[in-house]
Amino acid sequence: MIRTQKVKSKALKTISMVLVLTMALFVISPAVSVSAATGNALNSENETIYYVDDDYAEAIGALPDGYNTSFQFSLSGTYNTIKWSVSRGNTVTISENGLVEPVIETWYWYNTGNGYSIGMTTKQDGKEPDKITHKYKSGESTICCTADGKKYYATVNVSDYSDIYVQNEINNFLSEKINDSMSTYDKVNAICKYVAGFNYDYHYSSYKAMVICKGGDCWASSYLILHLCDKLGINAKLRYAAHDSGAGSGHRNVIVDVDGEIYVADAGYYTSAPRYYVFQKFNDGYSLKSTNGGYSIYQYDGFDQDVTIPSSINGKNITAISDLAFYYGSPKPTSIYIPKTITSISDQALSFVSTLQKVTVSADNPNYCDINGVVYTKDKSTMIALPGAYEGKYKIADGTKTIGSYAVFGVDNLTDVFVPNGVTTINANGIVYSDKLETISLPPTVTTLGEKAFFKNNNLKSIYIPDSVTSIGDSIVNKNTVIYGGKGSAAEKYANENECSFVETKLGDANLDGNLTIADTSKIQRYIAQFDSSLDKMQLQLADYNHDGVVDIHDATDIQRTLAGIK
């Protein structure tokens, strides 16, 4: 009994010594832990998982081997605790066991009753959706594994398998139907035939959808032609084709550069496969309509930015340019040459071309000319078009009587426009959509302002309308523009009827007190001598009494002569 106790006592002492030594070791070396994870490694540090959106899942079917839709992460070695999380990105989720999958966003679709459906990511209470779809997010995320306080990271890329599917299909076509011995023409013709081999289906408007679902509309057809041309290094671009005879309101086709010659490719016809397609030369990029024995240009889709309009095409003269002829093409022109044969230029023929720096008109043209790149009628009485890329201040040519409709349209960097003496009429929409214009002063020769003459110059703060103006159309300025003019004038009447602010003044009223006095000459003289810099833009416009575009001593002298009754 006593022996047994001694043995136990000795054993207890031994155990106690071990515990003391162990605790001492822990205290002396806190970085060493018997419970810390050791010999650990993730089974992968970089993985890609794939998804297919609902729209294409049925058409594509099961993904082939090697294209996993999830991945099971694991950590080798020993550890006591482990936690999985997503530390960066929003494209994946990871379970508590390390299974990573794409984030799925659920969309609930409800019929609006007018043939359309509206989708939302939250389900409406008490209402069953007509359709439920799922969306995924492509891109990288980082997952983190924390084992006994130590962190291990891996990158997961989420990729759309449908993109791979489409490129495989396209590459198969290229390898089977295209070879280096073929001419550019033969390659593009083969592309058109391939695209026309899909059905017309208005549900699909991308080349991706067309390849997967075996059908698409004119947009899908055009985009597929573009994509294939791009892969072969052939220069091509999308064309707005809704103005073509018989075309639908949103029709698109493709312009192709075939060894320096312009062709049009169109495989978007409404029928079942194999569909009719067009691939033919395209009048150097000019879309034409017959008019009075010649042609009118209604659209330009060439590749040149320095555009020289030919005198004739296919033996018929080019005689007219229609509205928006250079608006729809891309790239838009920087210069345009107009030949002598063109006798009609529509009001908006050169509008919406913000890149246009100058227009040159043949000296032999009977109806038009250019003055330093700006288009006027041949007799220089009517201004036709200021190029959209013009910058700074523009002085309308002396001798001009009429500013034509859309003569100044969308000239974004036009800071000032000077309307000279002699101008009598500013037609409807004459100076519009030029947002850097702040102040305009009209000369005492103007009598008529057409409808919306200065409309949508969104930063036009003020305009001076002289008493000579007797006819003013509707909506000549935005309502936030302050109108300056004489008491009882047509300008005052317009301002009152259209809720515009009105300031009574007259030409020469530099101090804006509503009167023409010697005080105005004094203010002008002090400004000229640089003693007074307080004149704002409208005061400077009014101070230019002789309306020659310059405030100088002549203005002060002319005011004094007027006050003295001397003409």
My answer on whether omega of the bond before 331 falls inside 30° of 0, hence cis, is yes
Q: What is the mean pLDDT of the chain?
A: 91
pLDDT score for 6: 37
Q: 412: Cβ–Cβ under 8 A, 6 or more apart, which residues?
A: 354, 388, 434, 435, 436
Task: Indicate the helix (H) or strand (E) that contains 115.
Answer: none
Residue 235 neighbours by CB under 8 Å, 6+ apart: 229, 256, 257, 303
Name the phi and psi angles at 396, rounded to 5: -60, 140
Burial class for 9, CB neighbours closer than 10 Å (0-12, 13-18, 19+): exposed
The rounded radius of gyration (Å) of the Cα atoms in the chain is 38
Residue bearing tokens 């999830």: 70
Give one word for 473, left, alpha or beta, with left for phi > 0 and alpha for psi -120 to 50.
beta
* Residues 51-64 pLDDT 10s: 999 889 999 999 99
pLDDT digits (tens, 9 = 90+) for 509-557: 999 999 999 999 999 999 999 998 899 999 999 999 999 999 999 999 9
Residue 304 phi/psi, 5-degree rounding, is: -75, 140
**pLDDT-based confidence at 34, cuts 50/70/90?**
very low
As a whole number of angstroms, the distance between CA 395 and CA 418 comes to: 5
pLDDT in tens, 467-478: 999 999 999 999
- Average pLDDT for residues 372-394, to the nearest whole number? 97
Which of 33-42, 114-123, 172-181, 388-397 has the weakest average pLDDT? Answer: 33-42
The DSSP line for 270-336 is SSSSSPP-EEEE-GGGEEEEEETTEEEEEEE--S-SEEE--SEETTEEEEEE-TTTTTSSSSPPSEE
Question: What integer pLDDT is reported at residue 38 of this predicted model?
Answer: 63
Residue 3 has pLDDT above 90, yes or no: no
pLDDT at 113: 80
Pairing relationship of beta strands 391-395 and 368-371 according to DSSP bridges = unpaired
| The predicted structure's pLDDT at residue 124 | 87
For residue 26, is pLDDT > 90?
Answer: no
Residue 511 CA, distance from chain mean position: 45
Residues 96 and 110: their CA atoms lie apart, in Å, by: 35
The pLDDT tens digits of the residues spanning 445-489 come to 999 999 999 999 999 999 999 999 999 999 999 999 999 999 999
**Do residues 47 and 66 make contact, with C-beta atoms less than 8 angstroms apart?**
no
In 3D, which of 192, 276, 206 has the Cα closest to residue 234?
Answer: 192
Instruction: Tell me the two tokens of residue 344.
Output: 């009609």
The two three-digit tokens of residue 211, written as one number: 């390849």
